[in-house]
């Protein structure tokens, strides 16, 4: 099975194990290049000197790397001290210092080339955000990569490994933003859109995590009870978030009545709306909030249990990691699971 090129491939990875275009692979092999590390160390001039490799082919290596980045980012250096506080310079004071530091980020393989304009592009900001999140959670990043290899290899000739790594990338960004909102909370009167974008990423994470778990369950790759429970909980959240339905509503014997989580200023009591599974225009808006760890939570109505439960994204992620990427000792930033947390 070929490994999809990622920034975290060890230097000693044989190029025979990495997914390259056939022409590129043949050129590297003919030149005697054997490992990913040799490509990382090669200059553009050296790569251009290889037979059958023109400028177009060398472009795909990107800043002396051997492959395009599937998630829009380059490799992290083993020790990038200048990146850990890089986010302090991004907004709102970009300026010349920010430009220089983004170029430093590019030097470590985390960014994309700067334009002549000192204003960062959307792509540069996105790449930087994902890069910082990996740097701040390097141990978790390695666990997600390990999971992608260990679990993804169970479905040969698929992109499951890539899907798992992308899920991990978004998880790390969510964790970084959750931590930031705890340490740098919203200020009264400020228009702070961080919670909105955290919600966007959190809901995407739920849908993608469900899709991965469904595949593993459907192909009978994993079938233990804890995994099946996690997969079912992700399914229920996903149905509410993406389909606007009560999960497994076919099991309802009668319509349900719900009330919104909050009242409008002009309302004296909570209005009641009815959810009828037979209604063509049926819809359900679940209650949601954030936990004490500033992770998004969703209230789910479990038809089979005839009860409601709250689920926290961070807890679901921790459980997924512990089930699919077990370690002898849980990293400090994942040890404080709080499955019993309630939304604020």
The 10s digit of each residue's pLDDT in 235-293 is 999 999 999 999 999 999 899 888 765 666 776 777 788 899 999 999 988 888 999 99
Gap between the Cα atoms of 102 and 36, Å rounded: 25
The 10s digit of each residue's pLDDT in 202-230 is 999 999 999 999 999 999 999 999 999 99
> In this predicted model, which residue has the larger pLDDT, 333 or 19?
19
What is the average pLDDT across 28-52?
A: 79
What is the average pLDDT across 112-124?
A: 65
Residue 185, CA distances (Å) to 180, 191, 292 in order: 7, 12, 12
In the prediction, which pLDDT does 341 show?
A: 42
Gap between the Cα atoms of 198 and 140, Å rounded: 19
Mean pLDDT value across the chain: 76
CATH for the stretch 1-68 = 1.10.150.20
- pLDDT tier at 50 (50, 70, 90 boundaries)? confident
The 10s digit of each residue's pLDDT in 107-116 is 444 444 444 4
Gap between the Cα atoms of 43 and 65, Å rounded: 10
In the prediction, which pLDDT does 262 show?
A: 62
CA angle 94, 98, 100 (to 5 degrees): 150
In the prediction, which pLDDT does 43 show?
A: 74
DSSP code for 95: H
In the prediction, which pLDDT does 68 show?
A: 32
Gap between the Cα atoms of 291 and 312, Å rounded: 7
Gap between the Cα atoms of 175 and 30, Å rounded: 44
Q: Which SS3 state, helix, strand or coil, does residue 44 take?
A: helix
Where do the domains of the chain lie?
Answer: 1-68, 72-136, 138-264+271-344
In the prediction, which pLDDT does 120 show?
A: 79
Query: What tokens were used for 107?
Result: 């030097």
> In this predicted model, which residue has the larger pLDDT, 111 or 180?
180
Residue 105 CB partners (closer than 8 Å, separation 6+) = 82, 83, 86, 111, 128, 131
Q: How buried is 119 (Cβ within 10 angstroms: 0-12 exposed, 13-18 middle, 19+ buried)?
A: exposed
Q: Which SS3 state, helix, strand or coil, does residue 142 take?
A: helix
How many whole angstroms from its chain centre is CA 151?
17
The 10s digit of each residue's pLDDT in 188-199 is 877 889 999 999
The 10s digit of each residue's pLDDT in 301-334 is 888 888 889 999 999 999 999 999 875 333 334 3
Contact 287, 299 (CB under 8 A): yes
pLDDT at 335 over 50: no
* Phi, psi (deg, nearest 5) at residue 282: -60, 145
């Amino acid at each position: 099975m070929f490994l999809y090129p990622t920034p975290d491939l060890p230097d000693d990875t044989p190029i025979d194990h990495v997914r390259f275009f056939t022409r590129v692979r043949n050129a590297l092999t003919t030149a005697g290049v054997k490992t990913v590390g040799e490509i990382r160390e090669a200059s553009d001039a050296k790569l251009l000197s290889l037979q059958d490799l023109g400028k177009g082919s060398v472009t795909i290596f990107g800043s002396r790397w051997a492959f395009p980045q599937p998630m829009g980012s380059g490799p992290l250096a083993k020790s990038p001290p200048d990146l850990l506080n890089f986010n302090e310079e991004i907004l709102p004071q970009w300026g010349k210092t920010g430009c220089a530091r983004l170029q430093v980020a590019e030097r470590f393989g985390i960014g994309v080339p700067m334009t002549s304009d000192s204003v960062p592009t959307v792509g540069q900001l996105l790449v930087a955000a994902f890069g910082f999140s990996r740097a701040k959670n390097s141990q978790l990043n390695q666990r997600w990569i390990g999971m992608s290899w260990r679990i993804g290899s169970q479905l040969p000739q698929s992109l499951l490994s890539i899907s798992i790594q992308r899920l991990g990338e978004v998880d790390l960004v969510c964790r970084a933003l959750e931590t930031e909102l705890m340490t740098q909370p919203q200020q009264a009167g400020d228009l702070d859109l961080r919670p909105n974008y955290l919600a966007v990423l959190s809901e995407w994470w739920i849908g993608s995590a469900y899709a991965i778990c469904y595949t593993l369950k459907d192909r009978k790759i994993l079938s233990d009870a804890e995994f099946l429970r996690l997969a079912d909980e992700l399914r229920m959240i996903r149905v509410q978030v993406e389909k606007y339905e009560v999960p497994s509503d076919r099991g309802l014997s009668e319509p349900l009545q719900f009330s919104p989580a909050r009242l409008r200023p002009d309302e004296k009591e909570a209005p009641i709306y009815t959810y009828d599974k037979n209604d063509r225009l049926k819809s359900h808006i679940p209650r949601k909030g954030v936990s004490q760890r500033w992770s998004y939570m969703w209230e789910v109505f479990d038809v089979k249990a005839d009860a409601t439960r709250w689920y926290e994204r961070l807890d679901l992620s921790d459980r997924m990691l512990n089930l699919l990427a077990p370690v002898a000792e849980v990293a400090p930033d994942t040890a404080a699971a709080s499955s019993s947390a309630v939304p604020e």
